[in-house]
Chains A and B, each alone.
Chain A
Amino acid sequence: MRIVVLVKEVPDTYGERTLHLETGLAERATSDNVVDEIGERALEVALTYADAHPGTEVHVLTVAPAGATTSVRKCLALGAAAATHVADEGLVGADLGLTAQVLAAALGRIGYDLVLAGNQSTDSMAGVLPAMLAEHLGVPNATNLADVTIEESGISGTRVTDDGTVQVSAPLPAVVSVTESLPDARMANFKGIMAAKKKPLEVLTLVDLGLGDLGLDGGDLTTARSIMLAVEARPPRTAGVTITDDGDAGVRLAAFLAENHLL
């Protein structure tokens, strides 16, 4: 079985994260860029299965700037057997639709029985990409799973919602996304780092994927795309209104909320 895990390099969730005020892109230069934790959890699901099932190949796939090699190598150090990194200037600022198209094309090239992803990235938090990808691939998708069981012929798991839990299952091939209920990823170790250097890491461009006319710089106007028109810094917080209770605080609080259309 070949399991392809989607990973994303993001600015460290625990560090300062900023947007570039001209491009609207996440500032990568000023933050530590790391493998998104949720993607590492998805990788852990794959590696745990591979540990118990010899013959399973875990392949990591990412769309990321050229500088993301360190993050890809980390996934190889954790135990993935191979990696594909799509890096193309035409994908800077790509929206979810374009990213899904690119990932689908890459998956067609790699081949897969199961695609595993985190349910949403910690930077853009969109969460819809796995479903879009499944649509492109024409395979079932089982999203937001809090536990996953992988078998030769299919997957099953539990989706937890506000209203209850849903047991879902799907035959393979399929796309699955997991939540942070899944265990932390394992740690890399010295031998993993050294072994990673010898593992295949393929870097592809849009042209390599046969998508040369798709990039945002390629003038493709046939498909609707989300693009950033303007971005502004959040205005600094101003001092709020302090209501001192002289016996009528409740009334004044209600009046304040009504005045601001919050009631």
Chain B
Amino acid sequence: MQRDIYDEDHEAFREVVREFVKRYVSPEKAAQWDRDGEVDRPTMLAAAEHGLIGLSVPEEFGGAGMLMDYRFRSVVNEELIRCGHGSALAGAFGIHDDLAVPYLAHFGTDAQQQKWLPKMATAEVLGALAMTEPGAGSDLRGVTTTAKKVDGGYVVNGAKTFISSGKTADLVVTFVKTGEGNRPDAFSLILIEDGMAGFDHSKTLHKMGFPGHDTAELTFTDVFVPDENLIGGVEGLGFIQLMKNLPLERLSIGAVAAAVGEAALEWTLEYTTSRQAFGHPVVDFQNTRFRLAEMATTVDAMWAFTDRAMNLYRHGKLSADEAAKVKFWCTEREWEILDQGVQLHGGYGYITEYPIARAFLDARVHRIYGGTNEVMREIVARSVTGRK
């Protein structure tokens, strides 16, 4: 499909990303990330040096100033995914630029921005976002991690789980209870730093997909966090701050799903063209042709939907329910395309040496994280019916 959201700057940047992939991404590197369970820091630093990380950091702090424009970020996703070995990087870059940086860039005090954003632009400091707890995911108001006010700061106790980049992060934007009850103003976002006494983020979880991108459990045992780490410097704004950035998170998952769908189509086309059966390339059988036609049409629809959302976002008009639609619809189409792609690869589609098999395993979580697709439907239903 001819997409019309990109201009020559995006295409020039795409060449940079491709060159980065050529120099820094390979099956061997991906295997190493998978074994280590995380992406090595030198690769992250190199990515930042070339502007693949730090896109959402404002220019005055050394970033690209693209906080309110997802197009360059989408170009990064597209090229990392297309190469077949970059999904760990796409994940790690996304957590930093889409889930961590925005909370500082939108809501941080001047002092917080000056302290952290320059280092986040260079990937010297990597961020993560911690909301989910062992007993609270979709039901965010059920979180029990508390930040009790003490002289000069807060004492944080509790635990978070399923935190992407949780082990490698230097700075975790953490959703905590600073008040009583579960009213929206009982919650705040607070910055927890690697190395703070009582903060343990060393335990990683073993997942069915994204083996090269760390996901961790975080525990907080009487962690003293200074006042200066309360995002925005005012208690009780955590919920409002999350609501402001969640549409971006959901848009980002939808855009990744579209990129995966497109890559899956390319891999499947390539495979079925080179694979022979009964004396003909598999691509010449009518079943294959029809399935590829369906996949291609679905990919076009995903881009049409996502590109429109990207345009709404950069004009400051992407609503929560539109972002929720993009997230659930695209990740479900992604799943269908991958399932079809695996099928057309035959036995090879089940072998993790093939990108389609790894993408299939990676993609399962897209319907779960960032707000489950059931929660997305709830958000959409609320806007459709006007009833809570």
Interface residues of A (CB under 8 A from B): 70, 73-74, 77, 187-191, 193-194, 196-197
Contact = CB atoms under 8 A, between A and B. Distances in A.
B203 interface: no
A193 B51 CA distance: 10
A184 to B, nearest CB: 9
A44 to B, nearest CB: 13
Contacts, number: 41
B36 interface: no
A189 B16 CA distance: 6
A195 to B, nearest CB: 11
Contact of B55 (A73, A187, A190): A190
Nearest to A194: B9
Nearest to B51: A190
B20 interface: yes
Contacts of A191: 51, 64
A191 B20 CA distance: 15
A188 B11 CA distance: 13
B51 A74 contact: no
Of B8, B11, B52, B72, most A-chain CB atoms within 10 Å: B8
Contacts of B384: none
Q: Determine chain B's interface SS by DSSP, over half rule.
A: helix
Contacts of B64: 190-191, 194
A194 B49 CA distance: 14
A191 B15 CA distance: 14
Interface of B: 8-9, 11-13, 15-16, 19-20, 23, 49-52, 55, 64, 72
Of B11, B12, B51, most A-chain CB atoms within 10 Å: B12
A187 B51 CA distance: 11
B9 A193 contact: yes
A188 B9 contact: no
A191 to B, nearest CB: 6
B12 A187 contact: no
Nearest to A190: B51
A193 B19 contact: no
A187 B9 contact: no
B16 A187 contact: yes
The 5 closest A-B pairs by CB, nearest first: A190-B51, A189-B50, A189-B51, A193-B12, A187-B19
